[in-house]
Amino acid sequence: MKCYSTNCKNEASSSFSEKVLDVNSTTNKWLTTEPVYKRITLYYCHDCMQDVLGDLRGQKK
């Protein structure tokens, strides 16, 4: 897998996987039903992953 970052051409060495709300699902029309989620996975190389983790922690470079 390639790194998800726009300007990076490195191979990915780690990933994030998360369930996100599927806003295009036709079964999400009613508030009484369970929402539909889909799983996304983003792949990053080591350097880009460190940047992402720093952003999540609120650290500045």
Sign of torsion, CA 53 59 60 61? Answer: negative
| Predicted TM-score (pTM) of this structure | 0.65
Each residue's pLDDT tens digit in the chain (61 positions)? 899 998 999 999 999 898 988 877 766 566 656 778 889 999 999 999 999 889 888 866 5
Indicate the domain borders of the chain.
14-57
With CA atoms as reference, report the closest residue to 5 among 14, 39, 23, 25.
Answer: 14
